[in-house]
Amino acid sequence: MLNRFTEEYLDTLGCRDFVARPRVSGRLASYDGLLMEAIGLSLPVGTVCEIGAGTKQRVEAEVIGFRAGRTLMMNLGGPAALLPNTPVRPIGAPGEAQVGPAMLGRVVDGAGKPIDGKGPIRGAASWPLAGKLQSPLDRGRVLQPMDVGVRAINGLLTIGQGQRVGIMAGSGVGKSVLLGMIVRAAEADVVVVGLIGERSREVADFLETKIFGAARDRSVVVAVPANHSPVLRIRGALRATAIAEAFRAEGKKVLLIMDSLTRVAHAGREIGLALGEPASARGYPPSAIAMLPSLIERAGTCVSSGGSITAIYTVLADGDDGNDPVVDSARSILDGHIVLSRSLAERGVYPAIDLGPSVSRVMTDIAGKAHVKAARVLRRHLATYEENRDLVLMGAYRAGADPAIDTAIACHDTILDYIRQDADAVVTLDDAVTELTGVFGDG
């Protein structure tokens, strides 16, 4: 009995295909608090390394490049009491994200680690962080409207399934509130939220007030606050997009929310400047702006699976400047943009959507002719009023001098009432279109 046990036990320990491999290790040669340089290592970009020998002194870093025979890494954690020649060892392969139904209802950080206190994620599949390159012919057209529960967007800036839209505004104008309204009411199988570079307080607030109940069970949240490493912020954006891509490959209708795209560009700026890349427009190195198209273009429809990713990105206009490099670049790539006006917010109009510069580039493909005509009539009346607003307020305009201005003045309060909506109210697409065509359908 003992002999049989010994033989079986030894057989289980034996491995005929075992090949001894040396343990790869290098040494830390330079560290300035963010950028690290290691010698004695040859690793692909994106590899995660562990630096430090002691249990309390270990810190993780990601390989971001090479210079003069040295491996360049970016710190993924906080400050660490590291010494010269500290051991550097690779601990993770680059470019994999956990995806699949096991992610539903979970909250993870930029490295994919759960932070919701529900334990480890089990049964998840993997997907490349950088995505899988698609042919342009694999992308389908946007032909079906998507109900987002916001009257002004449903009626005047109708969003389609698979469209990429930007919400552009300065700080404190109501981007996050508008996102919350969309998340609660949007018709989607899965909602993926990327909270990138925002305040830590907003993460818990978003979970408790914007995603709760049944909405939480069909949602995945990737949270990387502003005090995290720039590499983790970029990884968070890539991870959220990868999770959405995997659900789209299953044929799901996915809503991807990213708040905010500008913080992703800021993280790219920090990395580019740390690598010595020359700054160009507004201090952004070329790589930071060039990163945006590769991220945004991953959203859209898929012909083979029938799924779609409807992506909504918030874009912070620094100093309320509509010509900010990030705003201008995003506007040229996206399929539509919603501009929020600080002057409307100051007049108590919420959501403060400025219809003049806002546009949905697919609205004519997904909305009926009567709907499109009524939206154009409303826009024409609003534009006429805004052009002559100063004359009207100063009393320089005499009623009856121009019928178009008279009509615009008469309709202005109705237009503002159509745009206004309480944050907890939901207006369906059918109701928004019916109200719009009923008032402005004969214009």
Nearest to 306 by CA among 159, 116, 161, 174: 161
Nearest to 60 by CA among 16, 112, 20: 112
Of the listed ranges 43-47, 142-146, 407-411, 436-440, the least confidently predicted one is 43-47
Residue 223 makes CB contacts below 8 A (sequence gap 6+) with 107, 108, 109, 115, 195, 203, 236
For residue 224, list its beta bridge partners: 196
Nearest to 257 by CA among 170, 198, 326, 200: 198
Q: What is the pLDDT of residue 2?
A: 55
Helix (H) or strand (E) holding 405, with range, is: helix 403-419
Please provide the distance, in angstroms rounded to a whole number, between the alpha carbons at the two ends of the chain. Answer: 96
The full DSSP string for 324-380 is -HHHHHHHHHSSEEEEB-HHHHHTT-SS-B-TTT-EETTHHHHS-HHHHHHHHHHHH
How far is residue 333 CA from its own chain's centroid?
14
Give pLDDT tens digits for 176-226: 889 888 988 888 999 999 999 888 888 888 888 888 777 788 899 999 998
Q: What is the pLDDT of residue 21?
A: 58
Helix (H) or strand (E) holding 4, with range, is: helix 2-13
Give pLDDT tens digits for 367-378: 999 999 999 999
**pLDDT over 70 (residue 227):** yes
What's the mean pLDDT in 84-109? 88
Q: How far apart are CA 62 and CA 72, in angstroms?
A: 8
Of the listed ranges 14-18, 166-170, 217-221, 253-257, the least confidently predicted one is 14-18
Q: How far apart are CA 186 and CA 257, in angstroms?
A: 11
The full DSSP string for 243-306 is HHHHHHHTT-EEEEEEE-HHHHHHHHHHHHHHTTPPP-GGG--HHHHHHHHHHHTT-EE-TTT-
Q: How far apart are CA 213 and CA 307, in angstroms?
A: 25
Q: Which of 278-282, 323-327, 350-354 has the highest mean pLDDT?
A: 350-354
Nearest to 378 by CA among 341, 352, 344, 415: 415
Nearest to 66 by CA among 276, 287, 269, 279: 276
Return the higher-pLDDT residue of 79 and 368.
Answer: 368
Q: What is the pLDDT of residue 17?
A: 58
For residue 349, list its beta bridge partners: none
Q: What is the pLDDT of residue 373?
A: 95
Q: How far apart are CA 43 and CA 72, in angstroms?
A: 10
What letter does residue 86 receive in the DSSP assignment?
-
Q: What is the pLDDT of residue 428?
A: 94
pTM, entire model: 0.87
| Helix, strand, or coil (residue 412) | helix
Give pLDDT tens digits for 319-344: 777 788 899 999 999 999 999 999 88
Q: Tokens 């630096």: give the residue.
A: 51
Phi and psi at residue 193, in whole multiples of 5°?
Answer: -115, 125
Q: How confident is the model at residue 42 (pLDDT cuts 50, 70, 90)?
A: confident
Q: What is the pLDDT of residue 160?
A: 94
133 Rama sector, left if φ>0, alpha if ψ -120 to 50, beta otherwise: beta
Give pLDDT tens digits for 232-269: 899 999 999 999 999 999 999 999 999 889 999 999 99
Q: How confident is the model at residue 19 (pLDDT cuts 50, 70, 90)?
A: low
Q: What is the pLDDT of residue 430?
A: 94
Give pLDDT tens digits for 292-311: 999 999 999 999 889 999 99
Q: How far apart are CA 192 and CA 258, in angstroms?
A: 8
Return the higher-pLDDT residue of 39 and 443.
Answer: 39
331 Rama sector, left if φ>0, alpha if ψ -120 to 50, beta otherwise: alpha
**pLDDT over 70 (residue 388):** yes
Residue type, 190: V
Strand-pair category, 125-128 with 145-146: unpaired
Average pLDDT, the chain: 87
Structure tokens at 47: 């590899």
